[in-house]
Amino acid sequence: MFDKIRLIDLMGLWVQISPGSDEPVYVQVAEQISEAIARGELSSGDKLPPVRKLAAELVINPNTVARAYSRLEQAGLVVTKTGSGTYVSDPKLRKADAADFNILTERMDTLITRGLNLGLEQQDLIEMFKTRVEKFTKK
């Protein structure tokens, strides 16, 4: 239990904001939290830090943090219980909509083009992809 709380406290440190980047700030926050969930650092049922604390931590506007949370909620990754904060939802409930998929495909295209530019063969790419996927799904 102890490490989990620590984990959540440390949660703020994992989210890195780079204002100069292309995506808006709230998109960055939402992305990084969803990645953390995907990576398994946040298992279902964990409590995300409250809006005001995270805003103070990251020195960004509380409304942006709130919007990031609402975006995660739409993606079904997170569920907010009124009064007690927001929690990571369990995987079954997650639903993805078309917008997420084409973001995914887009990301894949950029990966593949970069790989081809490096002169890799199609085979090597598939090989690499397989090993990475196993790493995630092993747990």
Partner 1 sequence: MTETVLESQSLTKYFGKTVAVDHLNLEIPRGCICGFVGRNGAGKTTAIKLMLGLLKPTIGSSKLLGCDSMALTPVIRQRIGYVTEGHRLFRWMSIGRLEKFQRAFFQKQWDERLFADMLEYFGLSKKQKIKHLSNGQRAQVSLALALAPNPELLIMDDPTLGLDAAIRRQFLAGMIELIMREGRTALFSSHILGDVERVSDRIVVIDKGRLRANCTLEQFRNSVKKVKVAFADRAPTEFEIEGLLNCRRSEKELELVLIGTDSNRINEWAKTVGAEKYQIVQMNLEDQFIEYTAPASKGKLFRWEEI
59 binds partner 1 (CB under 8 A): yes
CA atoms in the 13 A half-sphere facing the CB of 18? 6
Q: What is the nearest approach in angstroms of partner 1 to the Cβ of residue 131?
A: 30
Q: What is the nearest approach in angstroms of partner 1 to the Cβ of residue 67?
A: 7
Which of 9, 24, 40, 96 is the binder for partner 1 (CB under 8 A)? 24
Buried b (16+ CB within 10 A) or exposed e, 2-28: eeeeeebeebeeebeeeeeeeeebbeb
| Piece of 19-27, 33-41, 90-98, 122-130 that binds partner 1 (CB under 8 A) | 19-27
Cβ(52)–Cβ(62) below 8 Å: yes
Contact residues for partner 1, defined by CB under 8 A? 17, 19-26, 52, 55-56, 59-63, 67
